[in-house]
Amino acid sequence: MAVSLPRSSGVQLHPTSLPGGRLGPEAYAFVDWLAEAGQSWWQMLPLGPPDRHGSPYKSLSAFAAWPGLLAEPDAPVSAQEEDSFRRRQAFWIGDWEEMAGRGAVADQVRFEREWGALRGYAAERGVRLIGDVPIYVAPQSADHRAHPQLFQDGAVAGTPPDAFTDEGQLWGNPLYDWPAVRRRRYRWWVERLRRTFELFDLVRIDHFRGFTAYWAVPATASDARGGKWQRGPGRAPFDAARRELAMDLPVIAEDLGVITPAVVRLREALGFPGMAVLQFGLGSTERANPHRFVNHTEDKIIYTGTHDNDTLRGWYEELPGKQREAVDAELDQAGVGEDDAWWRIVELAHASPGRVAMVQLQDVLGLGSEARMNVPGQARGSWKWRLEEGQLTTEPARKLRAITEKAGRVA
């Protein structure tokens, strides 16, 4: 049911972190840099209109792209192009137009134009695109307003206490009324996945464990500790999408957090690769920790860190002495030969048996905590990091390519 992935590697960078923050010349230059570095994938965050803090995980639409990414926001759009787009995207474009107002359809036509050109340019250079699908929609988003019957009242989304926060994470997103979604044959989810697969070659489903069970928090709660687990829909939305779209689903399951045997069984039954994050495994004394290098398996995408983690340099330099010694010892035992700790961790990720190794661009550049993309639960100050002009040079591309070739990950 899932696609087969070659042994390969890639780099995470959201388009807003490009020097211009748009799909202009800097995006094409980054594709060239990825090809020079021997990379097969460019992974990014959701493309929808972000919230007022810049978070793409609370977008005003699960379908529409953010016009703020356009390199040419004033490019002409014909009535014929708008009509064609309306026909092809009839399921959602009217809902988005009602919220976004005049010019909303033209903006989506412009995005389709620019995105298609960039994706084609990347494909010609052996670079494919990985997208990100948040499991939930934002409160009062176009989707929430247009389909209120699909969502619960009285409870909102979150996660229990975890490695990031003692109080859990109170996301506040509306929760699906899964029986109501089922009665409609999962049509909303099918159309959401259809739209996503039109834009990307591979897609990470954020908070995949929510399809087994999700953390429901009373809507009046001040933090997420008072939530409780509720049963999710299981594989049914994915089976519906596979039948309707008549395709193997190119999905990565973001299986981080409180992962039970039931979550593992669901992921394996669907054939989706999961995730392992080296920052969660290095120096760990927990033998069963799936993020430890010795526990990596082929059906995993190996990340040095995600957008929610500190940069490798920032993380390493803040480690307490004994933990840093444990990390150094583990890297020595693995035989990775780079000098800087962050480069050694990048090399370790590439040496993993996991099918795809993924690194943050900040880690390839050796940047500290000032370049961190997001601190979970902290709205202000996140999502702001941006590359400076001239910061992306040939030297790190050369170094990354050498590591990638050594690991047998260059296409």
Residue 100 lies in a domain: no
SS3 161: coil
Residue 84 lies in a domain: no
CATH number at residue 333: 3.20.20.80
Rounded Cα distance between 226 and 220, Å, is 10
Residue 87 lies in a domain: no
Residue 411 lies in a domain: no
Which residue matches tokens 């570095």? 37
DSSP letter for each residue of 274-323: EEEEHHHHTT---TT-TTSGGG--TTEEEES--TTSPPHHHHHHTS-HHH
Q: For 387, which DSSP code?
A: P
Residue 184 lies in a domain: yes
DSSP letter for each residue of 22-36: SSSHHHHHHHHHHHH
* Residue range of the domain that includes 22: 8-65+120-139+176-207+232-406
Query: 26, 95, 114, 254: which one is catalytic?
Result: 254
| pLDDT by residue, tens only, the chain of 411 residues | 577 899 999 999 999 999 999 999 999 999 999 999 999 999 999 999 999 999 999 999 999 999 999 999 999 999 999 999 999 999 999 999 999 999 999 999 999 999 999 999 999 999 999 999 999 999 999 999 999 999 999 999 998 887 667 888 899 999 999 999 999 999 999 999 999 999 999 999 999 999 999 999 999 999 999 999 999 999 999 999 999 999 999 999 999 988 999 999 999 999 999 999 999 999 998 999 999 999 999 999 999 999 999 999 999 999 999 999 999 999 999 988 778 999 999 999 999 999 999 999 999 999 999 999 999 877 788 999 999 999 999 999 999 999 999 999 998
Query: 95, 206, 347, 363: which one is catalytic?
Result: 206
Residue 198 lies in a domain: yes
Residue 227 lies in a domain: no
Domain count for the chain: 1
Rounded Cα distance between 168 and 242, Å, is 34
Residue 206 known to be catalytic: yes
Residue 254 known to be catalytic: yes
Rounded Cα distance between 97 and 276, Å, is 39
Query: 26, 107, 114, 308: which one is catalytic?
Result: 308
Closest Cα partner for 142 from 215, 105, 92?
92
Residue 54 lies in a domain: yes
